[in-house]
Amino acid sequence: MSFQNSHHFVIQNSTFNDIAGDFNQVIAESAFHNSSERHPPPKCHPDTRNLILDIIRDWATHPIADISALWLYGPAGAGKTAIAQTVSEELADQNRLAASFFFSRGKERRSSCRHLIPSLAFQLALSMPKLRTPIQNVVDVDPSIFDKPLRLQTQKLLIEPCQDMMRREFQPMVVVIDGIDECEDITGQQELLLVVKDTLCRKDLPIRFLLASRPEPGIRRIFDQPAFTNVLRRIVLDEAFHPNSDIAIFLRSGFLTIRQKHQDTMTSAPLIWPSQTVIDHIVQKSSGQFIYASTVLKYVDDEYSRPHQRLEAILQIPSPCTTAFADLDQLYLQILSANPHTDVLLQVLGTIVVLREPLCSYDLDMLLSLEEGDTLLAVKGLHSVLDVPHHDAPNMKWTPIKVLHASLFDFLRDKSRSGIYYVDVDKFHTALTFSCFLWLKERHENSQRDGTASPINSESALHFLYAIENWDYHLSHSPPSHELMEQLKRLYIKEVTTFGLGKSSGNVLKWLETAGNQPGSQDLLTEWASYYTASQSKPEPNSIIQLRSERICQSAGFLQPTVEEGRRFVRMSLFH
């Protein structure tokens, strides 16, 4: 059996092996700057962002700095993540990167603070070897530390292991945290920033923080506290850093690459393409946001079209001036309207927006009861806004479809901006809840008919596992309704025990509490409370262990696993 995609395994007994084993279930490796899930990550184009990068480099590498944290902020699409990624890679090459964490809305392990401190501590143990034993000792003494409040985790896993290591023993090390605003738990955001404050107040720690986010009111309010006055520097991505000239460089390089790539189909294009006037026009429409220029280049670089004709179509878009995002909105509308399959497109886009984790086209087809291939047909031509697998890519069928930039989420969720493409989040959470119920019911009926607990089928394993793991998440985000109450009543005790649904009862109980005077809500509340209590002492069902291992093995190209192999893979997997 191949282990080519496994991570952090050491055969010999060692502190590193202990740390890897203890931390595997609680870290979010997908949030690291060098994770495979984020490949290829956004980075600053060469010869751009030099002024701001130099400021960060000087701060990060100076042996003595009164300012222990930089807050890089700006609107969506301004290039914050690209800057954070570029800095992370440079510091890693210089052995100055202590840890990194890139939040991402809608990604289970990257959209909350639950996995943040374990992830930072794990990386600290790797980047600063003297801290491995102190960090491991904390986990040995209290294995439940990962379930403790964020501030206590920080004290035990970060501050105390470092406090005996005086600043002079280490060169300054930097922790990079990007996308704080994409942490979906507002309370978690505030706790995170207070944790940063606690750490910054310790002058004996050789740790500095580079923080990046949108300037949301809650984040700004925390940073306005007196405790941050002398330790935090704010850097706003505005006109002072000359974004237009950087965007122009980015565009010229991008169009040159497109011209070289499509030279056989661009024989009729002008020798100088595009003209400086066109470059200036796109720069002006970008309004300092790299996301607009990046989306233009992706749209023009379509393998089945002539790039100069695609660019001409963009130049014909009228120029509204109602909002700061008007030009970006018009570009998104232009891209989406080119797809003739509007009804299916809306169904697929709405589902992608509310999914807890990305799914491949086949799983989307199954969850939405579409014909196989409908999802790929709906997203065809949308590679400039979605990460859609190429038709000849290996494992194309199983490659998740992802949104390329958070600004598309913002656009789709705002009816005043997206119009007919508006995604009613409540509506789609409700629809997905019903889809999950449907798959649970079908699997239960199949198992009853076949006389087996839960037959494993590689074709259905992933979307069925999604239904098991996330039905309660979508329920908890759905408005209470009589129809959903009826669906809950129809779940048999056999389904609850076979699929381990009792472990999801926490979200169900919260949802039932909000149901108020819905008929039968109190009886259901009592019933699911008993499921929740009973589930706490029961191990995960073998059927679910094997389904989860099927997902892990399928994505890694492993052979079909046994239940015992499945347990081992799940214990080792970061995707548990």
Percent of the chain whose pLDDT exceeds 70: 78
CA 41 to CA 20: how far, in whole Å? Answer: 25
Mean pLDDT of all residues in 152-168: 79
The reply to whether the predicted model has a pTM over 0.75 is no
How many other CB atoms are there within 10 angstroms of residue 538's CB atom? 11
Q: How many CB atoms lie within 10 A of CB 482?
A: 11
Q: What are the tokens at 437?
A: 């119920």
The predicted structure's pLDDT at residue 418: 94
Which residue intervals of 419-575 are DSSP H helices? 425-450, 461-476, 482-489, 493-498, 505-514, 521-535, 542-556, 563-572
pLDDT at residue 70, as a whole number: 96
User: Of 423, 451, 486, which marks where a domain is finished?
Assistant: 423
Q: Residue 283's pLDDT is what? A: 92
Residue type, 179: G
| Structural domains of the chain, count | 4
Segment among 159-173, 503-517, 527-541, 559-573 with least mean pLDDT: 559-573
Task: Compute the distance between CA of residue 488 and CA of residue 557 in angstroms, rounded to an integer.
Answer: 36
In this structure, the answer to whether residues 354 and 485 fall within a common structural domain is no
Identify the band that residue 52 occupies on the pLDDT scale cut at 50, 70 and 90.
Answer: very high
| Within-domain flag for 561 | no
Distance between CA atoms of residues 198 and 189, nearest Å: 14
- pLDDT reported for residue 389: 78
Find which of 51-60, 334-343, 529-538 is predicted with most confidence, using mean pLDDT: 51-60
Query: 364 and 431: one domain?
Result: no
At 48, the amino acid letter reads T
> Is there a single domain that holds both residue 116 and residue 44?
yes
CATH number at residue 59: 3.40.50.300
The mean per-residue pLDDT over the stretch 67-84 comes to 91
What is the distance between the alpha carbons of residues 332 and 341, in angstroms, rounded to a whole number? 16
* Phi and psi angles of residue 178, each rounded to the nearest 5 degrees, phi first: -110, 145
Identify the pLDDT of residue 5: 39
The pLDDT score that the predictor gives to residue 501 is 58
pLDDT surpassing 50 at residue 176: yes
Note whether residue 86 is domain-resident: yes
183, 308: one domain: no
Q: Say if residue 174 is in the same domain as residue 305.
A: no
Residue 13 confidence class, pLDDT cut points 50, 70, 90: very low
Q: What are the residues whose beta carbons fall under 8 Å from the beta carbon of 169, sequence distance 6 or more? A: 130, 206
Q: Indicate the residue among 182, 208, 241 that finishes a domain.
A: 241
CA-wise closest residue to 135 among 113, 110, 155, 150: 155
Compute the C-alpha angle 360/399/35, nearest 5°. Answer: 120
> How confident is the model over 259-288, as pLDDT tens digits?
999 999 999 999 999 999 999 999 988 888
> What's the pLDDT band for 504 if we cut at 50, 70, 90?
low
Pairing mode, if any, of strands 69-73 and 386-387? unpaired
Same-domain status, 418 and 453 = no
pLDDT tens track for 552-564: 555 544 444 443 4
Comparing CA positions, the residue from 411, 418, 400 lying closest to residue 463 is 400
**Same structural domain, 415 and 472:** no
CA gap 461, 555 in Å, rounded: 12
- Assign 346 a pLDDT band (cuts: 50, 70, 90): very high
Residue 29, strand partner residues: none
Longest dimension (CA), the chain: 75
pLDDT tens, residue by residue, 505-521: 677 778 888 876 777 67
Asked if 80 and 178 touch (Cβ cutoff 8 Å), the reply is yes
Residue 334 lies in a domain: no
Evaluate whether residue 225 is within a structural domain.
yes
Based on the domain organization, do 152 and 284 belong to the same domain?
no
370 Cβ neighbours under 8 A, 6+ residues apart: 344, 347, 364
pLDDT digits (tens, 9 = 90+) for 446-460: 655 555 544 444 455
- pLDDT at residue 252, rounded to an integer: 97
Nearest to 177 by CA among 151, 207, 203: 207
For residue 174, what are the contacts with CB-CB under 8 A and spacing of at least 6? 60, 87, 91, 96, 97, 98, 207, 208, 209, 210
Q: Is the pLDDT of residue 31 over 90?
A: yes
In this structure, the answer to whether residues 145 and 255 fall within a common structural domain is no
Angle at 347 between CA 318 and CA 184, to 5 degrees: 85
The pLDDT of residue 220 is above 70: yes
Do 487 and 526 belong to one domain? yes
> Is residue 430 a part of any domain in this protein?
yes
Q: Does the structure show a pLDDT above 60 at 8? A: no
- 58 in any annotated domain: yes
Does residue 418 share a domain with residue 457? no
Contact indicator for 258, 294 with CB cutoff of 8 Å: no
- Answer for the pair 300, 258: CB distance below 8 angstroms, yes or no: yes
Q: Judge if the upstream peptide bond of residue 274 is cis by omega within 30 degrees of 0.
A: yes
Across the range 493-497, mean pLDDT stands at 55
Listed in sequence order, the residues at least 6 apart from 326 whose beta carbon sits closer than 8 Å to its beta carbon are: 319, 320
Residue span of the structural domain in which 198 resides = 15-241
Q: What is the pLDDT of residues 368-402, one digit of tens each?
A: 889 988 998 898 878 878 888 766 666 667 788 98
| pLDDT of res. 353 | 93
Residues 436 and 374 in one domain: no
Choosing from 220, 241, 262, the residue where a domain stops is: 241
Give pLDDT, residue 175: 96
Measured CA angle at 25 (ends 186, 135), to 5 deg: 85
Distance between CA atoms of 181 and 5, rounded to whole angstroms? Answer: 31
Gap between the Cα atoms of 196 and 150, Å rounded? 11
**What gap in Å lies between CA 228 and CA 71, rounded to an integer?**
11
Does residue 193 lie in a domain region?
yes
> Is 6 among the domain residues?
no
Torsional class of 216: left (φ above 0), alpha (ψ -120 to 50), beta (otherwise): beta
Half-sphere exposure of 441 (CA within 13 A, CB side): 11
Residue 266 structure tokens: 């661009």
